[in-house]
Structure 1
Amino acid sequence: MEEIKKEINLDSILESLGPYGRYNLLNYVLLLFPVLLSSFFECGFIFEAQEQSYVCDVNGCEQRFSDTSWQSYAIPYNEKLGKPESCLMYQPNNYTQFQCLPENFTNKTIECDSYVYEDNQSLVKEFNLGCQEWKRALVGTIHNCGMFVAMLFTGAVSDRFGRKVAVGFAAATSLIFGFSRAFSPNYLTYVALHFFEAGFGGGLYPSAYVFIVELVGLKQRVIVSAMCNMTFVIGVVLIALLAWCIDNWRTYILILYTPAVITVIYIWFMNESARWLLSKGKREKAISVLKKAAKINNLDPRKLELESLGDPLLKCENQTVDKKSQLYKAVRSSIIWRRLLICSFLWMTCSLVYYGLSINSVSLSKNRYLSFMLVTLVEIPAYIVVVIVLDKYGRKKTLVTTYITCALTSLLFAFLPRSDYWSIPLYLIGKWAVTLAYSSVYIYVSEVFPTNMRQTLISMCSMAGRIGSLVAPMTPLLSLYHKSMPTVIFAGMCLVSSMLVLMLPETRNMRLPDTIEEAEALSKRRTKN
């Protein structure tokens, strides 16, 4: 019972400090900035290695400059794609004086030796990736492989050394490897730096997210989570605007990664999470942090009854100290193990569908930047709605509804004839639904795991989710076999996830569990009810 008292005391103190006092507002700004940067680092590759138009470099024809009439008889036309072939040309006759005339070509097609690119400052041109589409698509996959590796140790760093150490480490490594990538001399160096940047800095968002969620009490968790998500959306829109204005891919990278210097400098002057300090038994430091917060908010620290965190915490320490590691205890628990597997699949579905719809959106209309921004901006209403529905209808009902909605819209988009009047609205509704689901999963996962293992277990779920984001950059290639294949896969994953949600406990209006025993009690409480 004393553990419950300790938990109530901590959350009541956070409520008394006020979620919108000067201390929290300052921390929101300082932690939302890394969230903004994480959107640059996670989604920047979409335009960094974007698709480029190119045709064969036909000797004697390209010298005609603005005249492109020669393409009608020198390069085959692809009726399916509605444009000239990129990798084939008609074989020229062996004339001594080649003048690029219709009679100089046969009906036989051959593969190109060299290419003429639409954008002279693109990554595709500089590394000569013409007709090697798999190499361009591999950039996103390699980046997400690095993100997968990051999840292996990000949680351990955060749970052992603290939230601000995890944020600072991720920001610093992203800056170093990302900035270096702008000077890559060749393709192999470029993708290697992509991997290392994501591998060491990929934990920036989850670390900042957990940090900001632990600043507030029960009632504000959904709101601050929505703040994080909307900040991420703003960052993604800024990426599209920047790519629209900047042609040179190296300059684009430099602009994206330079602001990380700011975070690397100020993060070390921030106070650590009081909840993390308490979970590690650092009672005096936690009380000191809370006292500083009270003073900044012009409150009397004595009225917060900070000393009440003492004895219950010490007893909690004695009860939870075990010879075996906390991770082993978590794995040994059938409840935590089942919860971890289900949450991992839910996260994987959200990652695959969210990033898949984002990446495929560039083909919705002729202007890839406007299409991308439109599909991204539709997320903002989702983050507003999630604040209302999660607390009103609960986590489970919200997740089931959004997964089914996304599945239905994806199937309709896949099998109904394409039309500008309803195809784009259907696509946007699907993106809106999966965004709402993704936001809900992030909140939900942080509520079903204990404080002393929260970042580690969240990272394990996120690591499984990275399997989805690994596959997402390759989904546009599936449309070459059948245009509806990507959205059908998205629909199937969403339907399975909607059924798995029913096996999890409801966490609405329940305080964050601080121990594995408290986390297990969520399911027992559901059974009792």
Structure 2
Amino acid sequence: MLKSNKDAPEHLQDKPVDLDSVLVNELGQFGRFQFKNILLVSLPILMSGFMSEYIFSAAAIPHRCQIPECGENSSNVVFEPEWISNAIPETSSGWSSCERFAPTGFDGSLDYCPSEMFNRDVVVACDNFVYERDNSVVYDFDLGCQEWMRALAGTLSSVGTLLVLPITGYFSDRYGRRLALVVSVFNMALFGLIRAFSVNYVMYLVLQLLQTTLGAGTFSSAYIFGAELVGPKYRVLIGAFTTSMFAVGLMVIGAVSWAIHSWRHMILALHVPCFLIISYYWFLGESVRWLLSKQKFTEARAALEEVAKVNRTQISEKSMEALLTPPPTQETPTSDGPGLIGYIFSSRVLLRRVCTTPIWWITATLVYYGLSINSTSLSGSMYVNFILTCAIEIPGNFAAVLILDRVGRKPTLSVGYFLSAACNITFAFLPSDLSVVRLVIYLLGKFGISVVMTSLYVYTSELYPTEFRHSLLAFSSMIGRVGSICAPLTPALVSIVENEIYFNIPTHSPSK
């Protein structure tokens, strides 16, 4: 709805008019239109978390050497028969996964396999494996003792997320936010659907990389819809809400994986509903900010009138004309190339910040994703542990919103880091039989790093001058992906360290 010039607020008549000022003073910072948009985009944001299903589809499963001398000729026989201690050495964490006692040349059966059949002074590597479960690609593609290969699924997912940043940014700026969202969701659903029919692990990995490279823009595209038409007062709150919806998506993964045993069927159940988001192209309006930036003024006028109508507010003709008037052509300082680099090196304060903020991001993403991935290895149900680890992010996100303006950016960030570090170090020294205490400490560590992740976006952007803010924030976030790329490899590192510690202890000396 339009109102005449004389009805425009007096303080708008002499000041430059931009969309933020119109939202604050006329259209409303968070009205019914914004609420509807937030509800719509929360669904694709939730679905964007589905690309992390590799945590379950490529989950590590207990395995041991297959003992053909005892009649084992497949990978799905009884995992712990009565004679297992005769054939497999025991480690601090259970039966050895990758080594067995050397055979002496005698044959037994599945029911009778005595210790005389094995030389307990000689340990050899496995030729084939027996698995405790079959609900992972580890079983289907026989990845026993190839922990680094298994962890590549998570690493390539993070690599794809890094590659998608420039692709989505270019596509969104050129063709619009709505099309970028629909195409990203379609790619995510399509490659996820195909990956459920992988015939080998290489195909699974390639599709994992393609899915994230071409579909991980779903979150950023949807987030733009949620934030671009919200007034400045509510943007931090909306940021916490959208991040929390991503956490809900991760919780859905845990619940679906819990309910559906087969990893192939689980992937199908998650990705087939994503095709419904394609319908957004016909009933989700294009971003007003994008329309104004591309000078599509006819569509922008219609969109602004729709916002005013749904919010039951008015926009003055003067404000409308100001928004729909092309800005004068003027030279603006470049934010990349030698100009940006020279500006950084000319300021010791800015140079110190450019060297510091990426370290924050690397640390935060490594701990954040590492805690999510490793939650499935905690004692108890891996599904319950994963769901709880994701659920604790939600209070962490909103806690950051509540204390950032009250306590300050630096104290909030420091306390979040310290809390997470203290809990993670404490967890490493807790006895394994204190399962409840270990879980509580683990969740507190995830709560702390969730506070950090929400605070990083706000604090990092405020440390840089306006003209270079977007470029330097993107630089910090991009370098920070190193942490998320390394996080899936931490379980493999743990298994190697544990094996080195155990097998360097002379448990089987010749004198015995």
TM-score, normalised to structure 2, is 0.82
Which of the residues 56, 62, 71 maps onto 2:65? 56
Shift of 1:410: 3.3
Match of 2:152 in 1: 138
Tell me the distance in 2 between the aligned counterparts of 1:337 and 1:276. Answer: 32
Q: Does 1:433 align with 2:443?
A: no
In structure 2, stretches of 5+ residues that fail to align are 1-11, 499-512
Q: Are the structure 2 counterparts of residues 276 and 328 from structure 1 closer, same or farther at C-alpha, using a change threshold of 3 Å?
A: farther
Shift of 1:464: 1.9
Shift of 1:106: 2.5
Match of 2:204 in 1: 190
Farther off after superposition, 208-217 or 463-472: 208-217
Shift of 1:301: 3.7
Match of 1:286 in 2: 300
Write the letter of the residue equivalent to 2:48: S
Shift of 1:330: 5.2
Shift of 1:327: 7.2
Match of 2:424 in 1: 410
Write the letter of the residue equivalent to 1:84: W
Q: Does 1:241 align with 2:241?
A: no
Q: Does 1:104 align with 2:129?
A: no
Aligned length: 474
Shift of 1:127: 0.2
Q: Does 1:214 align with 2:228?
A: yes
In structure 1, stretches of 5+ residues that fail to align are 484-529
Which of the residues 98, 101, 121 maps onto 1:90? 101
Write out aligned runs for 1:388-399 (5 A): 388-399=402-413
Contact 2:50–2:249 (CA<8 Å) still a contact in 1?
A: yes
Contact 1:343–1:445 (CA<8 Å) still a contact in 2?
A: yes
Contact 1:355–1:472 (CA<8 Å) still a contact in 2?
A: yes
Match of 1:29 in 2: 39
Tell me the distance in 2 between the aligned counterparts of 1:456 and 1:231. Answer: 26
Tell me the distance in 1 between the aligned counterparts of 2:331 and 2:284. Answer: 29
Match of 2:509 in 1: none
Match of 2:327 in 1: 314
Write the letter of the residue equivalent to 1:469: S
Which of the residues 58, 76, 80 maps onto 2:89? 76
Shift of 1:460: 4.1
Tell me the distance in 2 between the aligned counterparts of 1:400 and 1:438. Answer: 12
Tell me the distance in 1 between the aligned counterparts of 2:364 and 2:113. Answer: 52
Q: Are the structure 2 counterparts of residues 185 and 417 from structure 1 closer, same or farther at C-alpha, using a change threshold of 3 Å?
A: closer
Which of the residues 264, 268, 271 maps onto 2:278? 264
- Deviation per CA, 1:493-524: give whole Å up to 9, x if none: xxxxxxxxxxxxxxxxxxxxxxxxxxxxxxxx
Shift of 1:341: 5.6
Shift of 1:61: 4.3
Match of 2:367 in 1: 353
3-state SS of 2:327 partner: helix
Q: Are the structure 2 counterparts of residues 27 and 455 from structure 1 closer, same or farther at C-alpha, using a change threshold of 3 Å?
A: farther
Match of 2:131 in 1: 117
CA RMSD of the aligned region, Å?
3.2
Q: Does 1:180 align with 2:194?
A: yes
Tell me the distance in 1 between the aligned counterparts of 2:291 and 2:463. Answer: 20
Contact 1:279–1:451 (CA<8 Å) still a contact in 2?
A: no
Match of 1:40 in 2: 50
3-state SS of 1:319 partner: coil
Write out aligned runs for 1:433-452 (5 A): 433-444=448-459
- Deviation per CA, 1:63-113: give whole Å up to 9, x if none: 8859710102122211x11x1112222233323676523332222332222
Shift of 1:180: 0.9
Q: Are the structure 2 counterparts of residues 455 and 34 from structure 1 closer, same or farther at C-alpha, using a change threshold of 3 Å?
A: farther
Shift of 1:13: 2.3
Tell me the distance in 1 between the aligned counterparts of 2:138 and 2:54. Answer: 13
Contact 1:155–1:458 (CA<8 Å) still a contact in 2?
A: no
Q: Are the structure 2 counterparts of residues 467 and 147 from structure 1 closer, same or farther at C-alpha, using a change threshold of 3 Å?
A: same
Shift of 1:432: 0.8
Tell me the distance in 2 between the aligned counterparts of 1:13 and 1:20. Answer: 8
Farther off after superposition, 53-62 or 184-193: 53-62
Q: Are the structure 2 counterparts of residues 15 and 216 from structure 1 closer, same or farther at C-alpha, using a change threshold of 3 Å?
A: farther
Match of 2:382 in 1: 368
Contact 2:86–2:115 (CA<8 Å) still a contact in 1?
A: yes
Q: Are the structure 2 counterparts of residues 338 and 112 from structure 1 closer, same or farther at C-alpha, using a change threshold of 3 Å?
A: same
Q: Are the structure 2 counterparts of residues 55 and 414 from structure 1 closer, same or farther at C-alpha, using a change threshold of 3 Å?
A: closer
Q: Are the structure 2 counterparts of residues 218 and 65 from structure 1 closer, same or farther at C-alpha, using a change threshold of 3 Å?
A: closer
Q: Are the structure 2 counterparts of residues 89 and 481 from structure 1 closer, same or farther at C-alpha, using a change threshold of 3 Å?
A: closer
Tell me the distance in 1 between the aligned counterparts of 2:396 and 2:330. Answer: 42
Shift of 1:278: 3.1
Write out aligned runs for 1:378-397 (5 A): 378-397=392-411
TM-score, normalised to structure 1, is 0.80
Farther off after superposition, 448-457 or 299-308: 448-457
Q: Are the structure 2 counterparts of residues 417 and 303 from structure 1 closer, same or farther at C-alpha, using a change threshold of 3 Å?
A: farther
Tell me the distance in 1 between the aligned counterparts of 2:290 and 2:464. Answer: 14
3-state SS of 1:479 partner: helix
3-state SS of 1:106 partner: strand
Tell me the distance in 2 between the aligned counterparts of 1:344 and 1:209. Answer: 22
Tell me the distance in 2 between the aligned counterparts of 1:479 and 1:417. Answer: 17
